[in-house]
Amino acid sequence: MLLKIESVTKKFGGLSAVSDVSLEVEQGTILGLIGPNGAGKTTLFNCINGTLAITEGKIIFDGVDISSKKSYEIAKLGIARSYQIVQPFGNMTTLQNAMVGGFCKTKIYKEAEEIALRSLELVHLDHKKDIIAKHLNLGERKKLEIAKALSTQPKLLLLDEVMAGLTPIEVQEMVRIIHSINASGVTLIIIEHIMEAIMSLSKRIIVLNFGKKIMEGSPEDVSNSQQVIEAYFGVEEEELDA
Amino acid sequence: MIKKLIVKQNSVLWIIAVGIIIVPFILPNRYFQDIAVMTFLWAGLATSWNLYSGYCNRLSIGHAAFMGIGAYTSTLLYLNFGISPWIGMLAGGALSALTALLIGGITLRLKGTFFVLSTIAFGEILKVMTITSTEVTSGALGLMIPFQPGFANMIWTGKIPYAILAWIYMLVALFISVKLEKSKLGYSLIALGENQEAAENLGVNSTKTMMTAFILSAVLTSFGGTIFSQYIMFIEPTSVMGLSTSINFILLAIAGGLGTAFGPMVGSFILTPVSNLLRGYLAGISGLHGFILGMILIIILLYRPDGILPQLKLLSKRILQKLDKPKKGE
Amino acid sequence: MEQILQVFISGILSGGIYALASVGLALIFGVVGLVNFAHGEYLMLAMYIAYWIFNIVGLDPYQSLLINLVVMAAIGYITFKVIMERVLDSDHSIQMLLTLALSMVLQNLALMFFKADYRNIRIDMTNDIMNIGFITLNTPRVLAFIIAIGASVLLYLFLQKTFTGAAMRAISQNGKAAQLMGINIKSIYCLAFVIGTTLVGLAGLLISPIYPAFPTVGASFSTLAFIVVVLGGLSSVPGAIIGGLFIGVIESFAGYFAGPAYQQAAYFLLFILVLIFKPNGLFGRS
């Protein structure tokens, strides 16, 4: 197991945003994480990569207990994440953005540059390497999010709705990109609302609702589950249909 | 050839930075040579300030405190124990590093506004301490350094040796900045300034990064303080530690271009001579000089917050491209 | 014991002025989001206005109160329209540097026109004292305290009881939500800035019979006001009132026990301690 989450709970004040969630991710797989808005998916990401300190439970990554580690330490151990709301370093170029991640595992400029260039190629953004990040369009920024994370040379990559807001053609491209990242040996957890995309990417899907894990199974199991349909019912029905 | 020039804009700036040392040799008299010394010295100081605050976009407005530590350490060691200011300069640097470590430990974790306010508080505390410790520092009266020329005393009769010393100081600060821009530290620092959380998620250790840059900046600023005191041969708390001194670092850096290696130098090359000449000509009207500098700062902030350097780079790029075109037609 | 009480009361009296000088800063920070380093300069301007009206027209500061406040409001309005309005969306560093530059400009302007001389207003009341039991109080200081606290409380009531005040509080808590409620944010920003400069102007006017005017008089009050608002939780008006009184007392006792030179050191030390242990302010909510 690359990642093992043991009954993790995250409370804000009295409210549990994530409550008693356990899951395991096997090396080389793509795990899908779905659920209605406010189900605690992004909070779970924040707990995994150390942006938020967990209230209870344990997170083991690659044999190391990372429950109380800081986010930069976790990044060095090999977990990277992208943000749902893109967070480029606006005044740096695309390449420089990726190089910040590139310096995660090396101190040598040339090496960081090479790593960054490779990640930009992987997300088809190398032709924009000298553009200042704030001048990129949304699709390009989403790709940059991934390239930055990839540059830290992660073993596990957490992608938070990288397809939201993209055109259908861009979505197809993104699916291919995620496949190629996976093929290069990176394990992934992806949060996604676009069902078609997630079904084609993951063999295993976990459903969160109100901070709890309500189901885990194959895409077919999940889409046929009454419980899941109820969780979405009236809330985001159209997205399930999509 | 011209395409290469565009890419090599930094080389052009390096040529200017190195070549500028000719200027004090051809200046007609001590008055203008003095302006040259001040221009190099302020360029070095502003570049040192920029190392942390400029790249990280977190203003240290009490930074003159480190200049004061440098100036007072070397001066006190020299006056009381006859220790050469060269060694005093290193001692001042070490003390500044220690102070930066202490202050940074408390303030660097503070968010934006609180950080800025805390730097002012520390600067003021140090100033008040210097003023009140009259037995050691002779308080607000200041300290006079006796005129005993000699290399070991870092005191010379003419202005030229000072110009060379200040120029070397400027080049060192510049060299470190350029190195920083091409290093992990520099990338981490700029990323932190843009978005701390996102940077940390990419493996940037914000405490270590900020602390390293803060100490580096403090030590270099402190060196400038020693050179300043040996040149002026008189120091008092307000001139070396006051808020207006810190503001001058910032003014020069932002005029040239905040968070760029050559920006503070360009700012100083333009504004220090202007400022000194104004001071000379407008000496009759106290306040006018400061008023004009303040107005320049306001105008830059309102209309060119990126500073002059990016504008210059853009301009030179356009000119070079225009020169390039007819060649292609041939 | 009597002396301790005397020192305490004296601190409270100064504290009232510090509170008034600081509430405007807290308001401007809370509502407009500006860290106004030029805040003290408005106090300096009001002192000079009081001085010149007294010397040319012969009206003492209390008689010229209304004119002075109107002029201060106008100066605040002009500053906002000409400078601040342009940088509302800019980076915080740019905003801070801008107010720093503004303070530099105003100080030097005062130096150019009024020279570095200390200018005192000597009115009949300047040296008046009143005795309450065994405590001796200087009348202008008492008057200044009463008006200062009155004005600060009025501001607090304005924020609590009026629609505009509620709008200001809403913006202070959540600018974006307030915008959705259809509040004209820019005019609220402007009003908050004008109120802030007028109140610190009032503080300047109130101390003018007992404190000399000189070009850098505002700088020391700026520093003080910043410490007060940090103690009070940065954007809280009631916090600034309590913080002001607190600093006044601390300063008074430090002066009494350790000597005047350590007054400043005392509150800077307090400031650092607060930053280390309670970065949300001594009286601020976390």
Residues of A67-86 as b/e, b for ≥16 C-beta within 10 angstroms?
bebbbbbbbbbbbbbbbbeb
Same domain, A74 and A160: yes
Instruction: State the Cα–Cα distance between residues B295 and C108, nearest whole angstrom.
Output: 11
The residue with greater pLDDT, C136 or A92, is: A92
Q: What percent of chain A has pLDDT over 90?
A: 69
List all residues 6 or more positions away from A25 whose beta carbon is below 8 Å from its beta carbon: A1, A2, A3, A4, A31, A156, A187, A189
CB atoms within 10 A of CB C135: 14
pLDDT-derived band at A242 (thresholds 50, 70, 90) equals very low
- A50: closest CA among A65, A73, A70? A70
Same domain, A165 and A204: yes
Of the listed ranges A99-113, A155-169, A225-239, C214-228, the one predicted with least confidence: A225-239
Tell me the pLDDT of chain B averaged across its residues.
90
Same domain, A74 and A171: yes
pLDDT-derived band at C181 (thresholds 50, 70, 90) equals low
| Touching, A vs C (3+ Cβ pairs under 8 A) | no
Confidence check: pLDDT of C281 > 80: no
Query: What's the confidence (pLDDT) of residue C25?
Result: 93
Of the listed ranges A68-82, A195-209, C35-49, C200-214, the one predicted with least confidence: A195-209
Query: What's the confidence (pLDDT) of residue C236?
Result: 86
Based on the structure, what is the number of domains in chain A?
Answer: 2
Q: Is residue A145 part of a domain?
A: yes
Q: What is the pLDDT of residues B94-148, one digit of tens each?
A: 999 999 999 998 888 887 788 888 888 888 888 888 988 888 898 889 999 999 9
CB atoms within 10 A of CB B15: 11
Residues from chain B that touch C83, judged by Cβ atoms under 8 A, are 298, 302
A residues 7-46 lying closer than 8 A (beta carbon) to B: none
Looking at residues C148-166, what average pLDDT do you find?
91
> Would you mind telling me the total number of residues written for chain B in this entry?
330
Same domain, A50 and A95: no
Query: What end-to-end distance do the CA atoms of chain A give, in Å?
Result: 32
What phi and psi values does residue B156 have, to the nearest 5 degrees? -130, 160
Confidence check: pLDDT of C276 > 90: no
Tell me the pLDDT of chain A averaged across its residues.
90
- CA-only gyration radius of chain A, Å: 17
Query: What's the confidence (pLDDT) of residue A231?
Result: 74
Query: What's the confidence (pLDDT) of residue B72?
Result: 97
Cβ contact (<8 Å) for C275 and B110? yes
> Last residue of a domain, which of A123, A153, A183?
A153
Selecting from C109, C116, C272 the residue whose C-beta is nearest the C-beta of B121 gives C272
Query: What's the confidence (pLDDT) of residue A146?
Result: 95
pLDDT-derived band at A133 (thresholds 50, 70, 90) equals very high
Looking at residues B42-48, what average pLDDT do you find?
97
Residues forming a β-bridge with A159: A190
Q: Is residue A38 part of a domain?
A: yes
Confidence check: pLDDT of C275 > 80: no
Same domain, A94 and A60: no
Same domain, A116 and A235: no
Residues from chain A that touch B203, judged by Cβ atoms under 8 A, are 72, 75-76, 101, 103-105, 152
CB atoms within 10 A of CB A190: 24
Instruction: State the Cα–Cα distance between residues C108 and C117, nearest whole angstrom.
Output: 13
Instruction: State the Cα–Cα distance between residues B208 and B210, nearest whole angstrom.
Output: 6
> A105 at the B interface (CB within 8 A)?
yes
Confidence check: pLDDT of A240 > 50: no
Q: What ipTM score was computed for the predicted complex, to two decimals?
A: 0.89
Selecting from B182, B197, B204 the residue whose C-beta is nearest the C-beta of A100 gives B204
How far apart are the CA of B265 and the nearest CA of chain A, in angstroms?
Answer: 21
Q: What is the pLDDT of residues B171-198, one digit of tens each?
A: 999 999 999 999 999 999 999 999 999 9
Same domain, A93 and A108: yes
Query: What end-to-end distance do the CA atoms of chain B give, in Å?
Result: 15
Of the listed ranges A234-238, C77-81, C165-169, the one predicted with least confidence: A234-238
Query: What's the confidence (pLDDT) of residue C179?
Result: 65
Q: Is residue A48 part of a domain?
A: yes
B112 exposed, middle or buried (CB, 10 Å; 0-12, 13-18, 19+)? middle
Q: Is residue A132 part of a domain?
A: yes
Q: Is residue A83 part of a domain?
A: no
How far apart are the CA of C126 and the nearest CA of chain B, in angstroms?
Answer: 30
Query: What's the confidence (pLDDT) of residue C284?
Result: 56
Beta strands in B55-192 (DSSP E): 143-144
Confidence check: pLDDT of A233 > 70: no
> B113 at the C interface (CB within 8 A)?
yes
pLDDT-derived band at C135 (thresholds 50, 70, 90) equals confident
Of the listed ranges B80-94, B101-115, B306-320, C69-83, the one predicted with least confidence: B306-320
Confidence check: pLDDT of A237 > 60: no
8 Å CB contact between C145 and C130: no
Q: What is the pLDDT of residues A150-168, one digit of tens each?
A: 999 999 999 999 998 899 9
How far apart are the CA of C212 and the nearest CA of chain B, in angstroms?
Answer: 19
Residue of B nearest to C35 (CA): B113
Residue of A nearest to B179 (CA): A109
DSSP code, position C30: I
Q: What is the pLDDT of residues A171-184, one digit of tens each?
A: 999 999 999 999 99
Confidence check: pLDDT of C285 > 80: no
CB atoms within 10 A of CB C118: 10
Q: Is residue A62 part of a domain?
A: yes
Confidence check: pLDDT of B1 > 50: no
Cβ contact (<8 Å) for B121 and C100? no
Q: Which residues of B touch A (CB under 8 A)?
A: 182-184, 187-188, 190-191, 194-195, 197-206
Confidence check: pLDDT of B329 > 70: no
CB atoms within 10 A of CB B36: 25
Helices vs strands, H then E, count in chain A:
10, 10
> C273 at the B interface (CB within 8 A)?
no
Same domain, A136 and A212: no
- C47: closest CA among C220, C200, C226, C225? C200
Tell me the pLDDT of chain C averaged across its residues.
88
The residue with greater pLDDT, C270 or C80, is: C80
The residue with greater pLDDT, A12 or C125, is: A12
Instruction: State the Cα–Cα distance between residues C3 and A124, nearest whole angstrom.
Output: 78
> Last residue of a domain, which of A153, A188, A205?
A153
pLDDT-derived band at B326 (thresholds 50, 70, 90) equals low
Q: Is residue A51 part of a domain?
A: yes
DSSP code, position B29: S
Same domain, A142 and A160: no
Same domain, A126 and A185: no
Confidence check: pLDDT of C262 > 70: yes
Q: Find chains touching chain A: ≥3 CB pairs under 8 Å.
A: B
Query: What's the confidence (pLDDT) of residue A36?
Result: 86
> B57 at the C interface (CB within 8 A)?
yes
Query: What's the confidence (pLDDT) of residue C51?
Result: 94
Q: What is the pLDDT of residues B248-261, one digit of tens each?
A: 999 999 999 999 99
Query: What's the confidence (pLDDT) of residue C49?
Result: 95
pLDDT-derived band at B82 (thresholds 50, 70, 90) equals very high
Q: Is residue A177 part of a domain?
A: yes
Same domain, A112 and A210: no
Structural domain containing residue A175:
3-78+156-240
Confidence check: pLDDT of B330 > 50: no
Q: Find chains touching chain B: ≥3 CB pairs under 8 Å.
A: A, C
Of the listed ranges B49-53, B156-160, B320-324, C280-284, the one predicted with least confidence: C280-284
- CATH number assigned to the domain comprising residue A187: 3.40.50.300
Residues forming a β-bridge with A4: A24, A60
Cβ contact (<8 Å) for C268 and B131? no
Confidence check: pLDDT of C118 > 70: yes
The residue with greater pLDDT, C56 or C173, is: C56
Same domain, A26 and A13: yes
Q: What is the pLDDT of residues B227-241, one digit of tens each?
A: 999 999 999 998 899
> Last residue of a domain, which of A112, A135, A153?
A153
8 Å CB contact between A156 and A120: no
Query: What's the confidence (pLDDT) of residue B278?
Result: 87
